[in-house]
Amino acid sequence: MAAETFGPYRIEELLGRGGMGEVHRAYDTVHERVVALKRLSEPYGDDAAYRARFRRESQIVARLSEPHVIPIHAFGEIDGRLYLDMRVVEGVDLKDLMAGGPLPPRRAVGLLAQVASALDAAHADGLVHRDVKPSNILVAPGDFVYLVDFGIARSMGPEATSITLSGDVIGTLDYMAPERFGDRPVDGRVDVYALACVLFACLTGSRPFAQTEPAAQVRAHLQDQPPAASVVNPALPRAVDAVLWRGMAKNPDERFPTAGALMAAAEAALAAPAPPVPVVAPVTPPTAWLPPPQTGWAPPPPAPARTNRTPWLVAGAAVVVIAAVATVLLILRSGSGDDHNAALTTGPASSSASPTPTPSSSAAKTSTQATPGDQETQLLQHLPDVYRGNASCRADDGYRQPGTQAAVLCTQPNSQSPYFDAPSEAYFYSFADRAGQDAFFQQLVSTRGLQRDDGRGGCAPLKRTGIYGLYYRDESGPVPGEYVTCFVQAGAGQLWWVDTRTLTVGELSSASADTNEGLDKLYTWWNEMVLVTMK
């Protein structure tokens, strides 16, 4: 059977197929070389305006001289069908490389730094890639990387034109920036967002948003905070979380300005040395107040009327909030198909490092510990009695935020309740004044549009959404400005509160409190073991 021909090309085996066309190995009989020939589907060639845009955008890509951009030999139209003639690359794509789990962090950053170089060169030439994903990143022997498939790229600026047919949304939902889903103008920061998503996948072995339904994926990119990478992969330093969160910020203005800046920050986060662990002398644990013995667990009783408040059960005002609240809280702590383009690969890439095993724990965190200074020492002295003087409490600079003076992490309380499990960890943040403390919390309220409701108690974020409110620690009622909220984030329940008497914001976190019942238990533990020591 005679081989198919396409102009001067002799078509050989199919290398890959995507939403816009197919890629074959082909032999260029004019230049006597083997190439990767991408032929776009026929509907794309039926529109004269589209053909003109394709030529213009392809010309921009072809003139890019950046070594990590797959070279384009030729482009045009043969027998009414648009095509791209590209170099064949020996290697594998990043999607296949990640099949065994997360990559070693330094290797992942080294590979994607090359992608960033290609993207920054394209952006400087006025071109946005728009489909950065693992299958478009080819790894050649020696870990040399090529970014491929600029075939859906578009130029930037007021006269920017898309090479897609009118109304098409082209790209991969797994890595698509929020502004791609509306009519907002796009620029190179959509590629920064996508590269941050790919970096998350390389470091953790999973996509930042695990939803499979297209509508759920779109909603996640528009609204949800990605989980902390250091929770998914405890081997990662927590400083990486802040880098990824900034790279995947919903607002383009809050992202890194360039792909190179993103990768430089990621490299710095991996290179930062871990400070020594401070030693805090233990003290005799205080005797904790406990409720009367009871059999089994039952939900806490409803909050009593405000005229008859009890000190241990926060009577009037506990607060609940949806998991979307975690977006801002964790930001405060820091800073659709997949078109397979192994089409341009022909063999395995060399590798000097094997992928790291997939972590078994989904809730562990690593910390950036610091020697206590004056502010940290003062914060350690202001901890609730259930944590004060505990050897597990140490200064932690990993999540220091603008406006905070110090951060302390505690992993063990001094006393345990026989009825409710203690949180796995508790963070405390100190502030210089009420204004800074209030701004820290009000940023959450204003950014997420949370509504204040002081009339309900308990934690049930899956039942009541978008709520925060006052809490009551004794019969005299709350101190103005003291609030509480709880939610589930990254498989762990969290409860945050504002303590204006010590200018502290606290957070309890428990991997077992990831349900309404679990959050109620965490909330009751807080009432019993924390509030009674804070009068």
How far is Cα 217 from Cα 206, in angstroms, rounded to an integer? 14
What are the tokens at 203? 């470091």
Residues 127 and 16 in one domain: no
Residues 38 and 98 in one domain: no
Domain boundary among 86, 108, 137: 86
What are the tokens at 126? 């006025």
Per-residue pLDDT of the chain (535 residues; tens, 9 = 90+): 678 999 999 999 998 776 677 889 999 999 999 999 988 876 665 667 777 777 777 777 777 888 998 888 888 889 888 898 988 888 899 999 999 899 999 999 999 999 999 999 989 988 888 889 998 999 999 999 999 876 444 544 433 333 333 333 445 788 999 988 877 778 999 999 999 999 999 999 999 998 878 888 888 888 888 889 999 999 999 899 999 999 999 999 999 999 999 999 999 999 876 544 444 444 343 333 333 343 333 333 443 333 333 232 222 323 322 333 333 333 333 333 344 343 455 444 434 333 333 333 333 344 445 456 788 888 998 898 889 998 889 887 665 666 788 888 898 898 877 777 889 888 889 998 888 888 888 776 665 566 777 765 555 555 555 677 777 665 556 666 778 887 776 567 778 888 888 899 988 888 777 777 777 788 878 877 776 555 4
Strands, sheet with 404-410, edge to edge from the N-terminal-most edge strand: 394-395, 404-410, 425-431, 504-510, 492-499, 483-489, 467-470, 451-452
> Which pairs with CB-CB distance under 8 Å and at least 24 residues apart come from 52-60?
53/161, 53/162, 53/163, 54/82, 54/163, 56/155, 56/161, 57/127, 57/150, 57/153, 57/154, 57/155, 57/161, 57/163, 58/84, 58/150, 58/151, 60/125, 60/126, 60/127, 60/153, 60/155
Provide DSSP, 459-472: --TTTS-SEEEE--
SS3 295: coil
Write down the pLDDT at residue 492. Answer: 73
Write down the pLDDT at residue 498. Answer: 87
The set of residues, in sequence order, having a beta carbon less than 8 Å from that of 128 and lying 6+ positions away, is 122, 153, 154, 155, 156, 186, 187, 188, 190, 191
Return the residue matching tokens 């007021």: 158
How far is Cα 495 from Cα 217, in angstroms, rounded to an integer? 27
Whether 286 is covered by a domain: the verdict is no
CA torsion sign, 247 to 250 to 252 to 254? negative
Q: Could you tell me the CATH number of the domain that includes residue 73?
A: 3.30.200.20
Q: List binding-site positions.
A: 38
Whether 344 is covered by a domain: the verdict is no
Domain enclosing residue 23, as ranges: 5-86
Whether 341 is covered by a domain: the verdict is no
What's the chain's length in residues? 535
How far is Cα 430 from Cα 406, in angstroms, rounded to an integer? 5
Write down the pLDDT at residue 346. Answer: 47
Whether 189 is covered by a domain: the verdict is yes
Domain boundary among 222, 253, 271: 271
Secondary structure (H, E, C), 16-43: EECCCEEEEEEEECCCCEEEEEEEECHH
Provide DSSP, 317-386: ------TTHHHHHHHHH--------GGG--SPPP-SSPPPPPPS-SS-----B----HHHHHHHHTS-TT
Phi, psi of 342 (to 5 degrees): -65, 5
Residues 252 and 107 in one domain: yes
Residues 415 and 491 in one domain: yes
Residues 158 and 14 in one domain: no
Residues 201 and 250 in one domain: yes
- The pTM of the whole model exceeds 0.75: no
Domain boundary among 68, 86, 104: 86
Whether 297 is covered by a domain: the verdict is no
CA distances (Å), origin 258, targets 118, 156, 188: 11, 15, 7
Whether 512 is covered by a domain: the verdict is yes
Write down the pLDDT at residue 161. Answer: 33
Q: Could you tell me the CATH number of the domain that includes residue 173?
A: 1.10.510.10
Write down the pLDDT at residue 293. Answer: 41
Q: Which amino acid is it at 489?
A: Q
Residues 53 and 120 in one domain: no
H helix or E strand, kind and range, residue 428: strand 425-431
Residues 103 and 170 in one domain: yes
How far is Cα 34 from Cα 37, in angstroms, rounded to an integer? 9
Whether 283 is covered by a domain: the verdict is no
Residues 133 and 166 in one domain: yes
Residues identified as active-site: 131
CA distances (Å), origin 441, targets 163, 312, 426, 460: 44, 24, 17, 20
Residues 33 and 144 in one domain: no
Q: List binding-site positions for ATP.
A: 38
Instruction: Count how many domains the chain has.
Output: 3
Whether 439 is covered by a domain: the verdict is yes
Residues 485 and 518 in one domain: yes
Write down the pLDDT at residue 325. Answer: 32
Residues 373 and 327 in one domain: yes
